[in-house]
Amino acid sequence: MIRNMWWKVLGLLLVLYSIIAGLLIDVPALPVIHQTIRNLFYHVSMWFAMFVMLGTSFIFSIRYLSGFRMKDDLMASGAVYTGIFFGLMGLMTGMVWAKFTWGDFWTNDPQLNGAAVSMMAYLAYTVLRGSIDEVAMRARISAVYNIFAFMLLVIFLGVLPRLADSSLHPGKGGNTSTMEGLDMTMRMVFYPAALGWVLIAFWLLQLHTRRRALIQGIH
């Protein structure tokens, strides 16, 4: 029990810590964003969780194509669904944050475009899965699309922002102020928060696949 549960407890505790500490610590005074820099702990963690989930899905898709085990397909699709959940959370929180700092819900920012395209790609993945009836074929075709789309997304998110002229997000283009402003106290909250959410994402993934496995087991 404890051996299997420890990482789930750890995830919950880390996020709980980030909620308490993230709201109570002193943050550096920054122009424009002011106190909302605290959103970093919560909003950016959503993206971390999403990327880890999509990466997990990518790995399981490769594993599926190398062994054709249905368990791998279950994990791959489950990870995509979990990733989409965190992606939508990240998108929504990001839009609210953007409205109150940059003045618009949507700005033409490479980071935002990347997020939107990721969501499109993986929603398309779910549609693709829905449109194939035969189970083995569905697993195979969607694994191929998953690998194809993920590789192009990595390029999209890794290469394009570097070519961009400017970005409102830190560390890209002409704007590096926020990352420099990320002082030690903030790091002490941000990294645990991201790790905590990633662990919770894995937990949700596990719940999802276990439920699906049970349903299949009953039939």
Partner 1 sequence: MRETAELIRKEFLLEIRQRYAINGILLYVFSTIFVVQLCFGRVIDEKTWIALFWVILLFAAFNAVSKSFIQEASARRLYYFMIASPLSVVVSKMVYNSLLMLVLGALSLGLFTVFMGFPGLYAGLFAPAFLLGCIGLASALTMVSAIASRSGNNAALMAILGFPVVLPLLLLLVKASQRALTGTVEFAELLRLLSAIALIDLVVVLLAVILFPYLWRD
Partner 2 sequence: MEGSDKFFVVVIVMSIIFTGLGTYLFLIDRKLSRIEKKLKEFRGSKNNDK
The two most distant CA atoms of the chain are separated, in Å, by 59
Q: How many helices (H) and strands (E) does the chain have?
A: 9, 0
Residue 104 φ then ψ, to 5°: -140, 150
Q: Compute the distance between CA of residue 166 and CA of residue 85 in angstroms, rounded to an integer.
A: 29
Contact pattern for partner 1 over residues 118 through 137, marking x by CB under 8 A = x-xx-xx--xx--xxx---x
C-beta separation of 178 from 102 below 8 A:
no
Residue 218 interacting with partner 2 (CB under 8 A): yes
Contact with partner 1 (CB under 8 A): which of 148, 174, 210, 216? 148
Residue 96 interacting with partner 2 (CB under 8 A): no
124 binds, among partner 2, partner 1, none (CB under 5 to 8 A by kind): partner 1
C-beta separation of 122 from 90 below 8 A:
no
Cβ 72 to partner 1, closest distance in Å?
A: 13
SS3 category, 175: strand
Residue 212 interacting with partner 2 (CB under 8 A): no
Crossing angle (nearest 10°) for helices 70-101 and 110-130: 150
Binding site for partner 1 (CB under 8 A): 65, 113, 117-118, 120-121, 123-124, 127-128, 131-133, 137, 140-141, 143-145, 147-149, 151-153, 155-156, 159-160, 163
Binding site for partner 2 (CB under 8 A): 5, 8, 12, 15-16, 19-20, 23-24, 26, 200, 203-204, 207, 210-211, 214, 217-218
